[in-house]
Structure 1
């Protein structure tokens, strides 16, 4: 059985390695640069047209959206730099002071044409063109090679389509949810027994380290969002982006509340010294409640990352059942804490903070709250797109109207029959 697991694990690791962004970027960039050099050798007057493969190397990105945007910005940067160099060669030529003015002018033009990270490329292109004797031939050759590299890089994205990184982002979100679950379970175990201050403080530091995990998951999600943009293989890309983004926002809020909860346990451990954090019955209730909330966090991540309707419905039902059970356990714990406060009022603030924190997590995971959050985010993104691209929005609406009319006519015809 062990040999079978090892044999099946090897292909899985191989597939994951081939879908690794570093591997994908390396292979696609090498292919694009080689093709660009071959094409430039035939079309460019230069003996070694290295600008074309350099452009292709910089243009080809992990996602189609990043490739298109980088290609357009790089072409703009090179053309702007060449034009600035031609103007300087006609007016002043190359001297130490004209070189300084050239750099200042090129960087200023780069900001004006909005090439973002390619602003230094404007100055580099201008200096390379101005530094040769035959400015005209070199300028047009550099523009031609840049266009060849950009076209080949974009063409490679159409022939070697970049993968959609939604699954990888979903795995990162689920992994974050599992880490949150493990920490919640350990906090629950502390509540049911004797907890030294050092152990409670260690759990607090671990809760704070979840911020670094959020940063990594956010980077994976941004890559997935870029892979959904302008991708003809993806339908309803906006919905996928909003679902994943709002799901990560909810998990981020849960990690913040969990950090506050760990702080509450640490303060309670300092007050209790060598005594248990809670009486035996109350500690068991806290452990049960945190275990149920931990399971709900994982179910929420499964709901967020599931795109099949049937699986999503079952995940939503499971999440709702777990939240109902957690709410019941919370009410029982609230009564136990009330009885404890009536006997001893010294730690009533910490007991109240515990209830407030678990209530916040339950409310954030609630399915109705999530539905409202999704609708609000979809409306916000749609309004931003209308304001940013009014002409494209009007074109889409004009195309959708005949489709709706045809659907309505077909429905009416079916009913009349």
Structure 2
């Protein structure tokens, strides 16, 4: 019964996720719509390739053309071209090898498979061929299973493959060519939101006596922020790849939006680094590492308010990323207020009674100062 209920919950969740994706694809330009467009392009390319192969060259099966066109409508034009070259080579090898195997075995299916498939599967494991390596073996299976190993029949298969490759590449390059520049913005926005949420959680927790368990949670969440940094780097690489050999990079509407410079990636990577260092310091204080003493209650509450103010800066910059604004549109009044609050908390450091507490307070302020310097220039950035 429990397994059945769990399966029902999972099914409801999956159907709800599909519904959300469909609504987003219909209403907004984003990853969901891009996925839908690529799926429709692939289907259209396959049908067009089949029609050309079936009616133009009058192929008896016309299987290779739509199959090749289908898999070559990739996420970027550059990937389609690279995949097309690989696939043409692998399919040619598979077709010729299988034809020779059938010729040597006088058309005997099982011996021909024994001669061709083991070696073609070894070739499929070659790392540089990626997912396309398996197409050599599958092409050999088609040739052997249908007994189509005469030279003119092999020529048909290769011609079908060429037609499918040309159709797939052409459709991907000239029909709404994919330009993946919004992924950088989306991942940076998500990273900025996560940074702001974690700083807000730290500020809320610091208003009260935080324990080692809560500090460990903050430290773990800070480590997870590095996944967001890696996601931004992958999106940046994908954006650069999508512009290579792409004839539509100057025509697409998304390409006319303000691009985010690579310096923004480095900025948020530095923010994550400083938040991680801050979480380490708080975890050490909570664990009383090296006999560290907690700061006074007054300093702790003021520092909590300062941390929440920095969290609001992160949230503001995340909102600017979502609305395609630049960092130059930052509200200078709020920035100045945060720096003044920092100066106020800095003035409380000499009031610590213990040397250890003074050292801890200074270390915490160093991390928050580095965060402020990274997020936006201020009086202390000069």
TM-score tier (shorter): 0.7 to 0.9
Query: Match for residue 377 of structure 1?
Result: none
Query: Match for residue 281 of structure 1?
Result: 298
Is the alpha carbon distance of 1:323 and 1:65 closer, same or farther for their aligned partners in structure 2, counting shifts above 3 Å? farther
Q: Which has the higher helix share?
A: 1
Query: Match for residue 188 of structure 2?
Result: 173
Cα distance in 1 for residues equivalent to 2:368 and 2:155: 66
Q: TM-score, normalised by structure 1?
A: 0.68
Q: 1:358 aligns with which of 358, 362, 368?
A: 368
SS of residue paired to 2:356:
coil
CA apart distance, 1:177: 0.5
CA apart distance, 1:126: 3.2
Matched, 1:82 2:103: no
Q: 1:52 aligns with which of 60, 65, 69?
A: 65
Query: Match for residue 129 of structure 1?
Result: 143
Range that drifts further, 121-130 or 67-76 = 121-130
Query: Match for residue 27 of structure 2?
Result: 15
| Counterpart mapping for 1:137-216 below 5 A | 137-216=152-231
Query: Match for residue 225 of structure 1?
Result: 240
Cα distance in 2 for residues equivalent to 1:205 and 1:332: 30
Q: 2:330 aligns with which of 293, 318, 322?
A: 318
Is the alpha carbon distance of 1:11 and 1:139 closer, same or farther for their aligned partners in structure 2, counting shifts above 3 Å? closer
Q: TM-score, normalised by structure 2?
A: 0.73
SS of residue paired to 1:346:
helix
Is the alpha carbon distance of 1:322 and 1:88 closer, same or farther for their aligned partners in structure 2, counting shifts above 3 Å? farther
Query: Match for residue 28 of structure 1?
Result: 41
Range that drifts further, 226-235 or 66-75 = 226-235
Cα distance in 1 for residues equivalent to 2:126 and 2:285: 58
Is the alpha carbon distance of 1:297 and 1:225 closer, same or farther for their aligned partners in structure 2, counting shifts above 3 Å? farther
Q: 2:269 aligns with which of 237, 252, 272?
A: 252
Is the CA contact 2:174–2:248 (under 8 Å) kept in the aligned structure 1?
A: no
Cα distance in 2 for residues equivalent to 1:134 and 1:318: 68
Cα distance in 2 for residues equivalent to 1:278 and 1:112: 59
SS of residue paired to 2:61:
coil
Cα distance in 2 for residues equivalent to 1:65 and 1:291: 44
SS of residue paired to 1:119:
helix
CA apart distance, 1:146: 1.0
Residue segments in structure 2 that go unaligned for 5+ positions in a row: 1-21
